Amino acid sequence: MNLYKYASPTNFYPLAGKMIPWFATPAGILFGVGLFVGFFIAPPDFQQGDAYRIMFIHVPAAWLGMFLYILMAIYAGIGWAFNARLASMMASSISITGAMFTFLSLVTGAFWGKPTWGTWWVWDARMTSTLILLFLYIGFISLQSSIDDPRRADRAGAVLALVGVINVPIIYFSVQWWNTLHQGATIRILQKPTIHGSMLWAMLIMLAACWLYSVAVVLIRVRCIIVEREQNASHFVEATV
């Protein structure tokens, strides 16, 4: 099977359409399972009581905000370096979902901060760098929509995406580099998690649900972008009849 043929927007369009249900359906199921485990199985926290349950949406949203930015920058970089139209379209498609998750992480963080820290917001390193991430997403989206020529818009967006990627490690390590109000990482790859197993499972299931949801939504959106950009190309219209 020649996978390279799917680098063409025309060939990718029907494939994306077939893939969407395979991500959307498990996403819906896992959202249900994750919320069930998070609210019915996981016990209240000994310090924060039930307020900690915000974690099941806050942490996946924050991780996806960062991860989708890296993915967006990779796609934008590939699109720029190899003149690959589909990669640039994927970057555009990812940006809105990434911005949504980053915004969600900031809002749910504020909802968690008020009962635990006594304030909705502080100019803490983690929170400020996450806010900068949101501004980078908004900058990318605004820049792309302000330039009429899609190829020029893709190049300009790629520069911003690649420069802004430096902010992601800053967000991740901010709790180690600076003395922040935000707590340190509870889950590390090389260390045993410090939270109860059911809490960890609920969070991981919600993370998987959010990830599958993102893939489904990005695929739906990239199909719209393909139609928007290729609608005047006769080969696309004929291929998708």
Residues interacting with another protein, by CB under 8 A?
Answer: 39-44, 49-51, 53-54, 57-58, 61, 96-97, 100, 103-104, 107-108, 111-112, 114-115, 213, 217, 220-221, 223-224, 227-228, 231-232, 234, 237, 240-241
Shortest distance (Å) from residue 9 CB to another protein: 13
Q: Toward another protein, which CB reaches closer, 165 or 217? A: 217
Q: Toward another protein, which CB reaches closer, 111 or 173? A: 111
Q: Toward another protein, which CB reaches closer, 31 or 80? A: 31
SS3 label, residue 171: helix
Q: Toward another protein, which CB reaches closer, 36 or 177? A: 36
**What stretches of 2-72 adopt beta strand conformation (E)?**
none
Q: Quick one: angle between helices 9-36 and 85-117, nearest 10?
A: 20
Shortest distance (Å) from residue 34 CB to another protein: 12
**Cα distance between residue 31 and residue 72, in whole Å:** 24
CB neighbour class for 200 (10 Å; exposed up to 12, middle 13-18, buried from 19) = middle
Shortest distance (Å) from residue 141 CB to another protein: 13
Shortest distance (Å) from residue 10 CB to another protein: 12
Q: Which residues of 45-70 are buried (b: 16+ CB within 10 A; e: fewer)?
A: eeeeeeebbbbbbbbbbbbbbbbbbe
